Structure formats: C-alpha cells, structure tokens
Amino acid sequence: MKYKLVIDKNVEEEIIAIVHEPSPLTQQIENLVCSFSGSDSIMGYKDDEMRKLAFEEIECITIIDRKVIAIDTASNKYRIQDRLRDLEEILPSYFIRINKSSLANEHCILRFKAAFSGGVDAVFRCGYKEYVSRRCFAEIRRRYEGK
C-alpha cells in the first residue's frame, strides 16, 4: 500500500483512495472524512473565562438547568452557546446520543452500569454519570455489535 499527501493551498481539498475492494479500513477513512467539519474544537465558557475545548477532551455534552454544558476530562463544566442539535451536526462520529438531552464521547465511556431503577447509566472516565435511555442504549448496542 502506498500513501501520498500533497499540500497545496491553491487547490480545493480532495481525498481520493484507490483500493481493490472495500474493507474496514476504507470504511474508517470514509467515516473520518465525512465526519470532519473543518474544526476540531468549540468555545466553552466558565465564569469569566473563555476556553477553546478540543473535541477529544470533551467527555459529555448535556443540558443542565436549561443550559448546554460540556464536561471535560477533568470534570470541569463549560457552558456552550450552541444548541445540542446544532452540535450534533458538527461533532465527530464518535459522539453518540445517549438520551434526549445528552451526547457522549464514546471513547470516554468506561462502562455502562445498571441502575437500581432498571435503567442504565454511562460512567465516564472523569467520574461523571449520565442516564442512557432505552432507545439510545439499543442503538448503542447495535453499534458495538457491528450491526
């Protein structure tokens, strides 16, 4: 397999892959290219501080007290000015919906824990827990099982 990268600021960006047949690698490349929105961060606000949050450091985006909040790897909570459905369009494909008001970075979910009430909680690396709806959990299971 050969790899070639040409950087030319005067030409429109284009990605071409020539392969013998589709494979898991070609699917990963396609997912990466299609999910890239041109940016890799969003602005977060905390008290009088404004900070650029890289997508990789965001573990969960949820609604708390009618405000969109991003929770980072250190459990810090930042207010986001975008609406959840707008964020869903620009976030990479590894952000998954876990309930009506939350998106999760699937790379940061440690485990799913059965709750006493019969539901399921997603437990994140930073220790934050968020409820997973039954409908979303079924979709997550299908995704992990490769269906």
C-alpha–C-alpha distance, residues 62 and 54, integer Å: 16
Mean pLDDT for all residues in the chain = 89
Residues in contact with 145: Cβ distance below 8 Å, sequence separation at least 6, in sequence order: none
C-alpha–C-alpha distance, residues 93 and 105, integer Å: 9
Q: Which residue segments constitute the domains of the chain, with CATH numbers given?
A: 41-145 (2.40.50.1020)
Q: What is the DSSP letter of 87?
A: H
pTM above 0.85, yes or no: no
C-alpha–C-alpha distance, residues 31 and 97, integer Å: 17
Residues in contact with 80: Cβ distance below 8 Å, sequence separation at least 6, in sequence order: 42, 43, 44, 45, 61, 68, 69, 70, 87
What pLDDT score was predicted for residue 29?
81
Q: What is the pLDDT of residues 57-109, one digit of tens each?
A: 999 999 999 999 999 999 999 999 999 999 998 898 899 999 999 999 999 99
Q: What is the pLDDT of residues 26-55, one digit of tens each?
A: 888 877 776 665 678 999 999 989 999 999
